[in-house]
Amino acid sequence: MAANTIVCLIHQANYLLDRLLRQLEAAFTEEGGFTERLYQARQAARKNLGQKP
The string of pLDDT tens digits covering residues 35-49 is: 999 999 999 999 988
Domain ranges within the chain, ordered by starting residue: 2-51
- pLDDT digits 0-9 by tens, 1-53: 899 999 999 999 999 999 999 999 999 999 889 999 999 999 999 998 876 55
Q: What is the pLDDT of residue 53?
A: 52
The distance in angstroms from the start CA to the end CA of the chain is 72
How many CB atoms within 10 Å of residue 32? Answer: 13
